[in-house]
Amino acid sequence: MGGDHGVAVTVAAALEFLARHPLAGVILVGQTEPIALALKRLGRAAGQLVARLQVHGASEVVGMDDPPAQALRRKRDSSMHAAVDLVKQGVAQAAISAGNTGAWMAISTFMLRTLPGIDRPAICAPLPNQRGGATYMLDLGANVDCKPQHLYQFALMGSALVAAVEHLQTPAVGLLNIGEEEIKGNDTVKEAAVLLRAAHERGEIRFFGNVEGNDIFKGTVDVVVCDGFVGNVALKTSEGLAQMLGRSLKAEFERNLFTRVGALFALPAINGFRRRYDHRRYNGACLLGLNGLVVKSHGSADVYAFGRALDRAHDAVESGVVAAIALRIAHHAAGSVAVPAVA
């Protein structure tokens, strides 16, 4: 029910997802009348896919401007509550929403609780890099203020996610900083680096060291760790740059007859660039550290983008991400690691 477009996007994306994944099922959670109307409008496109589609009614909707605490306490029959409860009960293996991020996080954390050894969940998503793959980054906005211990836990969770989804045995983890040198950064980042180097020596993770913003897109490491304030700014900046480049290319090639002719020859390369760096391809951020799989989609997602969030949830379920994180945390509980003093 959430996001900028509601059922017009989510229902159509769910049907396309079912067509791509013949063994999967989808439960549409929300107000039954708008969902039924959306399915009726799609008509023939629904076809036999409706057999793998269930509708779970919920009378309330969390608005994009609802404070998280109000959404959690006062809207107990919201589609968000109902969707997360289906995961909690084991009826669904993942829950996806394009709605209010703060409310989605608050409801998911309250209902599912964090895994033992995890203080706070973190939002993790992939960003395209020059190596042709993706760099996974966390946290992307769930935790504005972090302690060194939290960054250490993020590193463990991000490493477990990438190992499971990308099938990498020892993903490289970098700590986002204002420079590569150990003396750079604030006390929180310095202390987190000490924890991560110690974890590297114990064989818990493969810690590369400090990385800078440009390393995200170079693909220097597989996982980049930072607090939610920095991560969200980096994410939104990268999306804005990708959109600006796409518009600039289009305007340049439409400038006059010569550029239009040139565009015909360059079209394959241009289209390849647009596909590669289309931010919609990377939609769907996992909320890591919970006793269940929860995915957040952009509120502005169109059908294609929301479908990618569904695909990401499906891949995470198939890869056993939650179990992989729980196993890693069980072996290396963050609470047992003391934070050393930094001069």
pLDDT band at 341 (very low <50, low <70, confident <90, very high): very low
pLDDT, tens digit (0-9, with 9 covering 90-100), for 254-283:
666 666 665 555 556 555 555 666 778 889
Rounded distance between C-alpha atoms, residue 142 and residue 284, angstroms: 14
Identify whether 175 is part of a domain.
Answer: yes
pLDDT band at 142 (very low <50, low <70, confident <90, very high): confident
- Cβ burial, residue 257 (10 Å; 0-12/13-18/19+): exposed
Lookup result for tokens 């998911």: 108
Q: Which of 222-231, 261-270, 306-315, 325-334 has the lowest mean pLDDT?
A: 261-270
157-182 mean pLDDT: 93
Last residue of a domain, one of 80, 112, 144: 112
- Cβ burial, residue 221 (10 Å; 0-12/13-18/19+): buried
Identify whether 279 is part of a domain.
Answer: yes
What is residue 137's predicted lDDT score, i.e. its pLDDT?
Answer: 96
- Asked if 121 and 106 sit in the same domain, the reply is no
Identify whether 296 is part of a domain.
Answer: no
pLDDT, tens digit (0-9, with 9 covering 90-100), for 14-71:
999 999 999 999 999 999 999 999 999 988 777 788 889 999 999 999 999 999 999 9
Residue 92 belongs to what H/E stretch? none
Question: Closest by alpha carbon to 211, among 239, 233, 241, 189?
Answer: 189
What is residue 265's predicted lDDT score, i.e. its pLDDT?
Answer: 57
What is residue 115's predicted lDDT score, i.e. its pLDDT?
Answer: 93
- Asked if 218 and 308 sit in the same domain, the reply is yes
What is residue 338's predicted lDDT score, i.e. its pLDDT?
Answer: 45
- Asked if 220 and 123 sit in the same domain, the reply is yes
Q: What is the CATH classification number for the domain harbouring 21?
A: 3.40.718.10
Identify whether 298 is part of a domain.
Answer: no
Identify whether 297 is part of a domain.
Answer: no
Last residue of a domain, one of 112, 146, 165: 112
Domain that holds residue 81: 1-112
Identify whether 72 is part of a domain.
Answer: yes
* pTM for the whole structure: 0.84
Cβ 176 vs Cβ 212: under 8 Å: yes
Identify whether 198 is part of a domain.
Answer: yes
Q: Terminus-to-terminus CA distance in the chain, angstroms?
A: 51
Q: Above 90 in pLDDT, residue 96?
A: yes
Q: Above 80 in pLDDT, residue 72?
A: yes
- Asked if 125 and 233 sit in the same domain, the reply is yes
The first and second tokens of residue 200, run together, are 């590297």
Q: Is the peptide bond before 215 cis (omega within 30 degrees of 0)?
A: no
Cβ 86 vs Cβ 58: under 8 Å: no
What angle, 0 to 180 degrees and rounded to 10, lies between the N-to-C axes of helices 321-331 and 148-165? 130
Last residue of a domain, one of 90, 112, 134: 112
- For the chain, the domain total comes to 2
- Asked if 218 and 309 sit in the same domain, the reply is yes
- Asked if 138 and 91 sit in the same domain, the reply is no
Q: How far is CA 317 from the centre of its chain?
A: 14
- Asked if 176 and 284 sit in the same domain, the reply is yes
- Asked if 119 and 107 sit in the same domain, the reply is no
317-325 mean pLDDT: 94
What is residue 329's predicted lDDT score, i.e. its pLDDT?
Answer: 84
What is residue 121's predicted lDDT score, i.e. its pLDDT?
Answer: 94
pLDDT, tens digit (0-9, with 9 covering 90-100), for 300-310:
999 999 999 99
What is residue 339's predicted lDDT score, i.e. its pLDDT?
Answer: 41
- Asked if 161 and 284 sit in the same domain, the reply is yes
Backbone angles phi, psi at 234, to 5 degrees: -65, -40
- Asked if 163 and 21 sit in the same domain, the reply is no
- Asked if 214 and 232 sit in the same domain, the reply is yes
Question: Closest by alpha carbon to 292, among 95, 117, 98, 156?
Answer: 95
- Asked if 175 and 39 sit in the same domain, the reply is no
Lookup result for tokens 């990268």: 238
Identify whether 295 is part of a domain.
Answer: no
Please write down the long-range contacts of 339-343, taking CB distance under 8 Å and 24 or more positions apart: 339/147, 339/148, 339/149, 339/191, 339/194, 339/195, 340/191, 340/194, 340/195, 341/191, 342/187, 342/190, 342/191, 342/194
